[in-house]
Amino acid sequence: MNVLEVKEIKKSFGSKKVLDGVSFSVPENCVFGFIGRNGAGKTTTMRAVLGLLETDGGEIEVCGERVSYGKTPKSGYIGYLPDVPEFYGYMNAREYLTLCGEITGMSRNDLKNRCGELLELVGLDKEKHRIKGYSRGMKQRLGIAQALINRPKLLICDEPTSALDPVGRKDILDIISAAKEQTSVVFSTHILSDVERICGRVAFLEGGRTVFSGSIEEIHERQTDTGLELTLKRTEDAERVLEAFSDMENSGGRLIFKKASDKKAAELMAFLAAQQIPVMRLERHEADLEDMFMEVVGK
Ligand SMILES: Nc1ncnc2c1ncn2[C@@H]1O[C@H](COP(=O)(O)OP(=O)(O)O)[C@@H](O)[C@H]1O
Ligand SMILES: [Mg+2]
């Protein structure tokens, strides 16, 4: 069963259409990247999933249960890390987590173990200071622990890495990857390299619509025309190759197609063989998510 199903949701603010058919689904134990540029509607979508925002149409189901506005899905299904989490600064991490667990009605014993487990997961188990002295990264990590306290089936993180430096970002990505053992994670971002590192599935949000949703492998399959780079044994042969392939460029002795179909690659190999031009290296570039995003978004 899918942990989250979002079907054709729509939302306008006044005359401004922000969501115009957003659909995606998230299976169990999956890290899902919800990708879109600033202002694309990521936070709006997440608020709708949490039942915090009234949509103009469409359906949302969390663990098979329909979400409706004002009626947050059954407690325990969803954990949420907002884009700017707020804490009681005078508490330390353990005190704060304990408070959150008490509010959700966890038993004292369970809570004690769970706090220990989560503080270790997010690397704050040795931290005794008050939250008000925390860095942004530490606050995000504590926010993830808080969102996981009552073992949700789905963890929603709104741009958890966007305000962090590379080390802080890596910490968060490692924690999210580890959290996959216990829950599915949806995280929104505009940083494609973060998605590439940890996500199994993605959705691209553009112009208020999900223009693609599926697995990373499916994107790789779609993306067939990628860069192709040729290094010749003798530099003097370059001219002949460039004459035959006008869309090839010479970049410091390497001959490059920015984008080449499989057919074009085969033509190049046939030409090299027929002309008996010795080759050092012929390499196909793997498309990165950025290329794919541009292709899917059509720009
Ligand atoms: N409560 C609101 N009232 C009016 N406009 C809003 C409101 N919330 C969001 N928007 C607008 O909707 C668009 C999408 O916002 P948001 O979902 O926050 O984007 P993202 O999280 O992808 O950066 C933006 O243009 C934003 O200004
Ligand atoms: Mg946002």
Determine the 3-state secondary structure of 55 from DSSP: coil
Ligand 1 within 6 A of 15 CB? Answer: no
Ligand 1 within 6 A of 13 CB? Answer: yes
- Find the 33 Cα to ligand 2 centroid distance in Å: 14
Ligand 1 within 6 A of 207 CB? Answer: no
- Is the per-residue pLDDT at 294 higher than 80? no
Residue 148 near residue 179, CB atoms below 8 Å: yes
Ligand 1 within 6 A of 11 CB? Answer: no
Helices (H), the chain: 42-49, 93-103, 108-121, 136-148, 166-179, 192-198, 216-222, 238-244, 262-274, 289-297
Determine the 3-state secondary structure of 154 from DSSP: strand
**pLDDT tens digits for range 94-151:** 999 999 999 888 999 999 999 999 999 999 999 999 999 999 999 999 999 999 998 9
What's the pLDDT at 1? 84
Ligand 1 within 6 A of 41 CB? Answer: yes
Q: How confident is the model at residue 227 (pLDDT cuts 50, 70, 90)?
A: confident
Q: What percent of the chain has pLDDT over 70?
A: 98
- 42, 44, 188, 204: residue to mutate for ligand 1 pocket, most atoms within 8 A of CB: 44
What's the pLDDT at 196? 85
Q: List, edge to edge, every strand of the sheet that includes 57-62.
A: 16-26, 4-13, 57-62, 65-66
Ligand having the closest approach to the CA of 160: 2
- Is the per-residue pLDDT at 195 higher than 60? yes
pTM of the complete model:
0.83
* Distance from C-alpha of 117 to C-alpha of 39, rounded to nearest angstrom: 36
Ligand 1 within 6 A of 43 CB? Answer: yes
Residue 248 near residue 267, CB atoms below 8 Å: no
Q: What is the mean pLDDT of residues 231-258?
A: 91
**pLDDT tens digits for range 18-76:** 999 999 999 999 999 999 999 999 999 999 999 999 999 999 999 999 988 887 666 56
The residue ranking higher by pLDDT, 172 or 289, is 172
Q: Which amino acid is at 266?
A: A
What's the pLDDT at 72? 64
Q: Which CATH code of 3.40.50.150, 3.40.605.10, 3.40.50.300, 3.40.50.2300 fits the domain covering 4-221? A: 3.40.50.300
- Find the 83 Cα to ligand 1 centroid distance in Å: 13
- Find the 188 Cα to ligand 1 centroid distance in Å: 14
Residue nearest to ligand 1 atom 9, measured at CA:
44
- Is the per-residue pLDDT at 221 higher than 80? no
* Distance from C-alpha of 26 to C-alpha of 1, rounded to nearest angstrom: 9
**pLDDT tens digits for range 140-190:** 999 999 999 989 999 999 999 998 999 999 999 999 999 999 999 999 999
Q: Which of 71-75, 106-110, 236-240, 260-264 has the lowest mean pLDDT?
A: 71-75
Q: Which CATH code of 3.40.50, 3.40.630, 3.90.1200, 3.30.70 fits the domain covering 223-297? A: 3.30.70
Ligand having the closest approach to the CA of 39: 1
- Find the 57 Cα to ligand 2 centroid distance in Å: 21
What's the pLDDT at 91? 94
Sign of the C-alpha dihedral computed for residues 114, 120, 121 and 127 taken in this order: positive
Using the atom order of ligand 1, give the atom closest to the CA of residue 159: 21
Per-domain residue ranges of the chain: 4-221, 223-297
What's the pLDDT at 7? 97
* Distance from C-alpha of 44 to C-alpha of 24, rounded to nearest angstrom: 15
Residue 183 near residue 1, CB atoms below 8 Å: no
